[in-house]
Structure 1
Amino acid sequence: MEWKAQNKTHQILTAAEKGGYGVVAPIAYNIECIIAFVRAAERKRSPLILQFFPWAITFSDGLLIHAAAHAARSASVPIAIHLDHAQDEELIRMAADALPFDSIMVDMSHHEMDENLAKTAELVRYCHERQITTEAEPGRIEGGEDGIADTADLEGALTTEEQVARFVATGIDFLAPAVGNVHGEYGAEGPRLDWERLEMVRRECAKNDVRVVLHGTNSFPEDVMKRCIKGGVSKVNVNKLVLDDYLVHLQKEAPKMSLTAAMEKSVADIQRLVEWQMDVCGSSGRA
């Protein structure tokens, strides 16, 4: 598919895999997030994948996505716009048709495997027809996030070699494996990842020109993050990891400040942590 060479997410992650670094992919909830993410990318001269949960589409009637796309087009570094954990089939089709996404995660993990695969293949075709690259999740990463179905009622499962092959066969471009990572918080022991399983995923994906994505990075120490990237991860989803200071600010400082001052402090707090993760993931200076 020649169009993929012009797809922004595909370009960014192909360069990351070749360069041996990871690209930070934070979740935006508001205009402060968008401004902070883009400023961090500009300051660090880093590529960026700016992500939204489906909630942002319904909450803002798509306005936040258009704002992010405008910021991406105006930036001097490569920035892609991605829809993360899209679980509603009609919303995926609407987003592919009407909103400026470069890539969409087709997340059918709330279905049993055969149905998951069938729905994924159908929606991947739909997105590809509109020159949008796709991501999917084999295995089952336990837990839930904002507006995303919790898989607690389904058995968590680590990604197998067979699952990698079956998901790759749907035509996906990026794969987010379950290798011991979870959505949400880790216990006192922190993340305990299956490094051999990650290596298997990397090996099988490389055979099919598919990039590896890391989900569930809350509270990841720097050494664990770096080992994941060394293990072949190109796209690094981050959420609370880069919003911790901002959330503390909202609770403790913002109520005592003027609205404009509180917003400016919000951007600074978010930008600082995103810049930190760009350094950790090795993408600083790569744009």
Structure 2
Amino acid sequence: MPLVTSKELFSKAYDGKFAIGAFNVNNMEIIQGIVDAAKEEKAPLILQVSAGARKYANPIYLKHLVQAAIEDSGLPIVLHLDHGESFEICKQCIDDGFTSVMIDASHHPFEENIAITKQVVEYAHDRGVVVEAELGRLAGIEDAVNVSAADAAFTDPQQAAEFVEKTGVDSLAIAIGTSHGAYKFKGEPNLDFERLQTIAGLLPGFPLVLHGASTVLPEFVELCNKYGGDIPGAQGVPEEMLRKAASMGVCKINIDTDLRLAMTAAIRKSLTENPNNFDPRKYLEGGRSAIKEMVRHKIANVLGCNNFL
């Protein structure tokens, strides 16, 4: 099976009131853990590559690792560019075989965001590639994304409807209170579901996207800290909030921090308990298994896209 786009996946997710998991990938073990979980749960996948991943692993390596995952699993897999910061980067990824790209021009004024996004949409659609864009800005830090709380802004519903109409974009990442990184909330977690409902009402049948949606599972934070980590006060999006968002038109939920925490916790534990081990295969195997179990949990209990195939 070749790479697929997200168009049909999002249509089924919207009608079924569930979401497709979009997992950030950086190396072989992360990809294997995610794909092994999806195989067992019979779920489709969006594997996404950020600016940090492109710098770390080289897009060519990641593309071929994803191709290997397809050959191994037979799953419908989307290869997606996460937070493409310019037309040029989106064009390069489209030309390199990505089936989905995100153009993130949300830091530009509204009209300029429209113009840049429309340029990407026209190039992508001519080549059978789908496009995600962003309106509103999420606070937090993750890879090349660094937005202060003061610069963050929730998505305006009327602007969202206008933006989709003028750009022809295929999906839209909105800001309703999530944020990038492990420290999403200082106090009580809260998402603006009223805003989400208004946006979904203005864009019936249109797939929305939630970035910064890791739960920051406490067991992984505790395990990291138990074995020498220093991650105090980390807090993510409660899983019940993600399930509610998926029932309200959010068809793609991005997960990155939870992958990092799961793998790091397992590796820290392995190296602490086995100080004589210097074989990366042994401690990375534990990290891969931790990712697999975490992703299985997300697919079955949060996203609801298990038994899709």
Query: 5 Å matches for 1:70-219?
Result: 70-98=68-96, 100-148=97-145, 150-152=146-148, 155-168=151-164, 169-184=166-181, 185-206=183-204, 209-218=205-214, 219=236
Q: Which runs of 5+ in 1 are unaligned?
A: 1-5
In structure 1, give the amino acid aligned to 2:157. E
Q: CA deviation at 1:74?
A: 4.1
Q: Deviations over 1:124-166 (max 9, x none)?
A: 1111112110101112222231123x23297322111222123
Distance 1:125 1:173 in 2: 11
The aligned length equals 278
In structure 1, give the amino acid aligned to 2:295. V
User: Which of 287, 290, 294 lines up with 1:269 in the alignment?
Assistant: 290
Distance 1:60 1:51 in 2: 13
Q: Is the 8 A contact 1:7 1:131 kept in 2?
A: no
Q: Is the 8 A contact 1:30 1:64 kept in 2?
A: yes
Q: Deviations over 1:153-187 (max 9, x none)?
A: 97322111222123202011011111122222223
Q: Is the 8 A contact 2:133 2:172 kept in 1?
A: yes
Question: Which secondary structure state, in structure 2, belongs to the residue aligned with residue 176 of structure 1?
Answer: strand
Q: Deviations over 1:80-101 (max 9, x none)?
A: 1111111133221111112x21
1:16 maps to 13
**1:64–1:190 CA distance, 2 compared to 1 (3 A):** farther
- Coordinate RMSD, CA, aligned: 2.0
Question: Which secondary structure state, in structure 2, belongs to the residue aligned with residue 46 of structure 1?
Answer: coil
Q: TM-score, normalised by structure 2?
A: 0.84
Question: Which secondary structure state, in structure 2, belongs to the residue aligned with residue 231 of structure 1?
Answer: coil
Question: Which secondary structure state, in structure 2, belongs to the residue aligned with residue 243 of structure 1?
Answer: helix
User: Which of 11, 27, 32 lines up with 1:30 in the alignment?
Assistant: 27
Question: Which secondary structure state, in structure 2, belongs to the residue aligned with residue 144 of structure 1?
Answer: strand
Distance 1:233 1:285 in 2: 19
Q: Deviations over 1:224-266 (max 9, x none)?
A: 1111112221111111123322112233424733211112111
2:41 maps to 44
Percent of matched pairs sharing the same residue: 31
In structure 2, give the amino acid aligned to 1:180. G
1:285 maps to 307
Q: Quick check: 1:259 aligned with 2:280?
A: yes
Q: Quick check: 1:220 aligned with 2:217?
A: no
Q: CA deviation at 1:190?
A: 4.2
Q: Is the 8 A contact 2:5 2:130 kept in 1?
A: no
Q: TM-score, normalised by structure 1?
A: 0.90
